[in-house]
Structure 1
Amino acid sequence: MGAGDAGIIGAGVVGRATLERATLEDVARAAGVSLATADRVVNRRDGVRDKTIARVEAAVSRLGYRADPAAARLARNQNFRFLFVLPSGANSFMTMLGEQVARTAEWLAAQRAFIDVEHVDVFDADALARVLEGVLPGYHGVATIALDHPRVRAAIDDLTDRGVPVVTLVSDVPSARRLHYVGIDNPAAGRTAATLMGRFLQGRHGVVAVVAGSLSLRDHAERLYGFNQVMAREFPDLIMLPVVQGRDDNEQTLAATAALLRQHADLVGLYNAGAGNRGIAAALQQAGRAQEIVWIAHELTPHTRRFLLHGDIDAIISQDPGHEARSAARVLLAYCSGDRLVADQERIGIDIFLRDNLP
């Protein structure tokens, strides 16, 4: 083997070494300090001389060291447990969200953090509040679909006073002292739905019906606020009917939609700010009016996808349940670990799906 070959092999070894992630032990060795001292400097704890801090920080910079929070928790025998409070019932989007929470739990376990799930009727303020009031000691954070109700707000504030951070998920309670809201900008989603409705109905006259699960859910109320804003300002020739509430239940929403169709022969548009879309589809099909009424819905699920493909739904305003589940977990984990959040990473986008751009 010639000198040139030796040089190539040597360069390869160095290359492999530099690709390996530096450890805290590497930092301590490079700075000429003990592992305990390196740990104190990296974690900003007192009791280390300025000259030593400078040596450790220089080694961190030179080696490109990045702390591994999971390894740090393992060294301290530390773990976290979070409770996710999700709706009971057959809401397809919430079922998808639950599936994504289960997938997130698998990722979180590798971070030495764990998720428990409890289901409750979120339309029942007392039932939801009882679950939040009964959160057992040992939980380090809670993520919940929230109902904007005094008892629910008080339960969130009580958890905060106990040192348990609360993340609201999909539907917010901004007046409570929750840590963070994970969800879309709902007034903007409603405005988007109204713009689509008005443009799809351009040149037609008649009435537009609005269906919500419950106006006690802030996400539904905010969507309706945004929808009404744009309809009143930009499409005054379309007459808005009073809101119908179906509790996101297919049977109740079917009955409510069927009544609207019987009472309003001039119904030209329908906006559903919540769930219960199977009920709406059944009512429209039974009345033979599925293709003549412009229908804007929320959330891309297996059912709404089929209705969109068949031409029953004209557009879907959607949010990513996987992004939301992961974001809620990241927010709670970052808070408990003292890590910094990346705001752009946690921003939930509004998706618009037509038949032509389905993923």
Structure 2
Amino acid sequence: MGSGGEYPASERPQQADVAARAGVSLATVDRVLNRRKGVKERTRQRVLEAARELGFLSETEEARLGNARPLNIVVLLPAGSNPYLRLLGERLRARLERTGADGPALRCFFIESFSAQALAEALRRNAGWADGIAFFAIEHPVVREAAAEVAATGTRLVSIVSDLGSVPGIPHVGLDNRAVGRTAGLLIGRLSGGRAGAVALVAGSRHYRAHSEREAGFLSIQEELFPQMRVHGMREGHDDAAENYRHTLALLDQVPDLVGIYNVGGSSGGITRALREQGRQEVIFIGHGLTQDTRKAVLEGTMDAIFDQDPDTLLDRAVACLNDPATTARPLKLDIYFSENLP
């Protein structure tokens, strides 16, 4: 960086010269020139002035670096085979390609799924670089402790899709998941046409608050409006298509009066595969995430409805919350797709 045009190559000023003139460390100069966090505004201006006076930076470069630094934002998502989460990752990569020099610097990391310890470590590890972190939360004491610790250092946090519960100062961007569960229960109850029988739930994990809230909402409306239907417990498939496939085969074998299945998590492909192989398209099936596999399942009639939260809107809201802590995090709109209204 820097033109250094007025000096012979051997005499061009170096970052060490800028540090000496500004009276700061070499590390501080590096942070200023690379627009990293952790430098006071007064110190930043002194470094830029010294760099210009030495000819290390041109006036144009000094002016650009003197502008407000864009935020460094990290997004932490669970690793695994969940197609919706992979879609979120793809949308983030697309944003990286579109972001200009003055836009936020985005990084996305996939961490071990369902591991509270791995998420807590990732929060602490990324807090040094990030001004803000958006993360798919696991409701666990070690995650709450890490989140509180990171927030206390000044790094902004926002949970996405699944939250930590009522943790002060950490907004949540996602659906009203209890209402989502009630909507799923209402839809299955209506589509069943009054049939008596069993309804099964499949989840990623109850450690995801989003999944446990959807379950609670589903149970509440079944008890209120559809007493002829019993809920056959909830199985945890860890958002893995192979596990969901095995769970579904077991349900079809063990529950002869199975009326419907609600997948409160992701990776619905395993469930549709089992229903298709067993010729059980009469079983009502509702799942989450508009992806290539769920679109195909709805079109062929194996899946009845897809509940979706638009990934671009989710990311827009999360970045807005990190940019401006005063932003109100309202629940996202639930999109429900059938074969006749697929976008």
Listed as ranges, the gaps of 5+ residues in structure 1 are 1-71
Counterparts of 1:216 and 1:249, CA distance in 2: 15
Counterparts of 1:97 and 1:225, CA distance in 2: 26
- Aligned pairs (5 A) from 1:1-359: 75-76=66-67, 78-289=69-280, 291-335=281-325, 341=327, 343=328, 347-359=331-343
Q: TM-score, normalised by structure 2?
A: 0.78
TM-superposed CA distance for 1:78, in Å, is 2.2
Contact 1:145 1:171 in 2 (8 A): yes
Partner deviation per Cα, 1:285-335 (whole Å, 9 max, x = no partner) = 22221x210111111111001000001111111110111112111221224
SS of equivalent to 1:211: strand
Q: TM-score, normalised by structure 1?
A: 0.74
SS of equivalent to 1:229: helix
Partner deviation per Cα, 1:110-155 (whole Å, 9 max, x = no partner) = 5442011111023111111111122242321101011000001111
SS of equivalent to 2:155: coil
Counterparts of 2:295 and 2:173, CA distance in 1: 24
Counterparts of 2:307 and 2:158, CA distance in 1: 23
Contact 1:104 1:326 in 2 (8 A): no
SS of equivalent to 2:265: coil
Partner deviation per Cα, 1:219-258 (whole Å, 9 max, x = no partner) = 1111111111111100000011111110000111111111
Query: Among the aligned pairs, what percent are the same residue?
Result: 37
Counterparts of 2:249 and 2:64, CA distance in 1: 57
Contact 2:309 2:335 in 1 (8 A): yes
SS of equivalent to 2:93: helix
Contact 2:160 2:173 in 1 (8 A): yes
TM-superposed CA distance for 1:73, in Å, is 8.1
Contact 1:122 1:145 in 2 (8 A): no
Contact 2:127 2:155 in 1 (8 A): no
Following superposition, which runs of at least 4 residues in structure 1 exceed 6 angstroms of deviation?
Answer: none
**Which of the pair is proportionally richer in helix?**
1
Superposed CA RMSD: 1.8
Q: Cα distance 1:87–1:109, how it changes in 2: closer, same or farther (>3 A)? A: farther
Counterparts of 1:298 and 1:73, CA distance in 2: 44
Counterparts of 1:77 and 1:243, CA distance in 2: 50
Aligned length: 281
Listed as ranges, the gaps of 5+ residues in structure 2 are 1-62
Counterparts of 2:196 and 2:290, CA distance in 1: 29
Counterparts of 1:269 and 1:77, CA distance in 2: 54
TM-superposed CA distance for 1:178, in Å, is 4.5
For residue 33 of structure 2, what is the aligned residue in structure 1?
none
Matched AA of 1:321? P
SS of equivalent to 1:349: coil
TM-superposed CA distance for 1:347, in Å, is 4.5
